[in-house]
């Protein structure tokens, strides 16, 4: 007998949001479990990809209602998609968990979800807007420059700030000179090889504008004319993964208007989470704009992917350091880009790049996961730091804003003499003949 207690309006089944054929790709071999962060930490089959697929299919088939316990197993997933890399059958786990969880979240009428101030004010009204973030963080940045922030962190005073707000403040990186807003156009240096548009995003621009400038200089050195459309905005990932598909689509469609696709060879993105979202614009919404979204997605290129395809102009500045590279989940797993960053870094004279154990395991950031799932996020952050320390590296490289913030915080907490950087920052230093 089919049950209809799905905790959704009118008993609507969240499994209806999923293409059922995708469930059938899973052969239940279990090879994905060893790469799943939550399974490796908890050892619970329900907290691994195979178990979660079975839970979703039970609901989709009407054999079981969506209980709070099942919901919790699905919420604990980081959506890192390491299971996709490990799967021999090509299961598209992201296309299972994302629409199912989105339908589950949109229909969640529990009081604590309907009146979640942090979600509505911080995630939706602050994070997607870089200028708002800069203005709000200005007093905190001032306290950092005075040394008050560091003192408060050492004394544990930041732990007194409640809940997710305290965790957000604790993730703030040290102040650096970010530079002015990127102009609308930057010309290639030397022979022109490509015309590209550059996506600046929201959190990435608020926290890592210096990395944007470094990326732009590297692209210029490699013969790229760079266009930076002023009308662009957040990629929509924050809204999408927090259960607001409508808000995400609004932001995605604004970017469709902002970028004149026929003018560019590629839309270049230097943070993995944004590129992964933009490459899937054509998958998330089925309407009249889908062909345009698919055309847009086909233009999106991660900066490492583009430079590796062009053939990197070798930098000349020596950097005699030991570095290790962490594979951001939405670069290595969602975009299947793992070797390109390593090939680019190998071009830096003097740099010794050592392998990071368990590089495929998420650092615990996962977008806003580190704000919402504190315990699991911290466990994974500690695990990542232990692996980093085992390499003996002095520089840690990662190509995503969330990873950089998460790893920097853990390094600061432990007082370790490690420099956490984006690969483009290091390449830029080599081109300019400067040291980290």
pLDDT digits (tens, 9 = 90+) for 149-172: 888 878 877 777 878 888 888 888
- Determine the Cα–Cα distance for residues 55 and 64; give it in Å rounded to an integer: 9
- What is residue 5's predicted lDDT score, i.e. its pLDDT? 41
Helical pair 68-75 and 94-106, crossing angle rounded to 10 deg: 130
pTM given for the model: 0.92
- What is residue 1's predicted lDDT score, i.e. its pLDDT? 27
Using CA atoms in the order 184, 128, 374, 14, what is the torsion angle rounded to 10 degrees? -120
Domains detected in the chain: 9-112 (1.10.1060.10), 121-170 (no CATH), 177-436 (no CATH)
Residue 129 structure tokens: 């807007």
- What is residue 140's predicted lDDT score, i.e. its pLDDT? 83
Residue 291 structure tokens: 């062909």
- What is residue 113's predicted lDDT score, i.e. its pLDDT? 65
- Determine the Cα–Cα distance for residues 188 and 165; give it in Å rounded to an integer: 42
pLDDT tens, residue order, the chain (436 aa): 233 344 444 457 888 888 899 999 999 999 999 999 999 999 999 999 999 999 999 999 999 889 989 999 999 999 999 999 999 999 999 999 999 998 888 777 665 666 788 889 999 999 999 999 999 888 888 888 888 888 887 887 777 787 888 888 888 888 888 889 999 999 999 999 999 999 999 999 999 999 999 999 999 999 999 999 999 999 999 999 988 999 999 999 999 999 999 999 999 999 999 999 999 999 999 889 999 999 999 999 999 999 999 999 999 999 999 999 999 999 999 999 999 999 999 999 999 999 999 999 999 999 889 999 999 999 999 999 999 999 999 999 999 999 999 999 999 989 999 999 999 999 999 999 999 9
């Amino acid at each position: 007998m089919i049950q209809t207690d799905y905790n959704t309006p009118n008993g609507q089944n969240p499994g209806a949001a999923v293409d059922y054929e995708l469930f059938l790709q899973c052969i239940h071999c279990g090879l994905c479990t060893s790469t799943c962060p939550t399974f490796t930490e908890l050892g619970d089959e329900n907290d691994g990809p195979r178990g979660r697929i079975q839970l979703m299919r039970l609901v989709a088939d009407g054999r079981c209602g969506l209980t709070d316990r099942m919901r919790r197993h699905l919420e604990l997933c980081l959506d890192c998609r390491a299971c996709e890399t490990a799967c021999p059958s090509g299961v598209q786990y992201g296309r299972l968990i994302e629409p199912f969880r989105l339908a589950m979240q949109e229909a969640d009428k529990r009081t604590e979800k309907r009146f979640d101030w942090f979600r509505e004010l911080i995630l939706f009204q602050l994070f997607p807007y870089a200028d708002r973030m800069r203005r709000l963080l200005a007093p905190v940045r001032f306290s950092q420059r005075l040394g008050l922030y560091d003192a408060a962190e050492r004394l544990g005073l930041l732990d007194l700030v409640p809940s997710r707000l305290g965790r957000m403040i604790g993730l703030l990186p040290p102040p650096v000179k970010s530079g002015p807003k990127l102009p609308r156009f930057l010309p290639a240096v030397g022979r022109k090889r490509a015309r590209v548009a550059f996506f600046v995003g929201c959190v990435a621009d608020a926290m890592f504008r210096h990395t944007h400038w470094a990326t732009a200089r590297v692209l210029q050195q490699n013969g790229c004319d760079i266009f930076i459309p002023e009308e662009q905005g957040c990629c929509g990932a924050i809204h999408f993964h927090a259960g607001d598909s409508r808000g995400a689509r609004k932001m995605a469609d604004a970017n469709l208007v902002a970028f004149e696709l026929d003018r560019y060879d590629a839309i270049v993105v230097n943070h993995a989470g944004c590129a992964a979202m933009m490459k899937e614009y054509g998958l998330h919404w089925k309407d009249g704009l889908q062909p345009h979204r698919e055309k847009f997605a086909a233009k999106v290129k991660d900066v490492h992917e583009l430079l590796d395809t062009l053939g990197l102009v070798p930098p000349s500045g020596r950097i005699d350091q030991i570095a290790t590279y962490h594979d951001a989940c939405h670069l290595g797993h969602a975009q299947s880009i793992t070797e390109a960053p390593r090939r680019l870094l190998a071009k830096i004279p003097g740099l010794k790049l050592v392998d990071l154990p368990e590089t495929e395991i998420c650092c615990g950031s996962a977008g806003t996961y580190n704000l919402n799932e504190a315990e699991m996020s911290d466990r994974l952050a500690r695990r990542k730091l232990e692996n980093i320390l085992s390499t003996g590296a002095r520089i840690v490289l990662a190509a995503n804003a969330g990873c950089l913030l998460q790893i920097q915080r853990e390094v600061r907490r432990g007082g370790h003499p490690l420099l956490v950087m984006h690969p483009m920052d290091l390449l830029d230093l080599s081109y300019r003949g400067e040291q980290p």
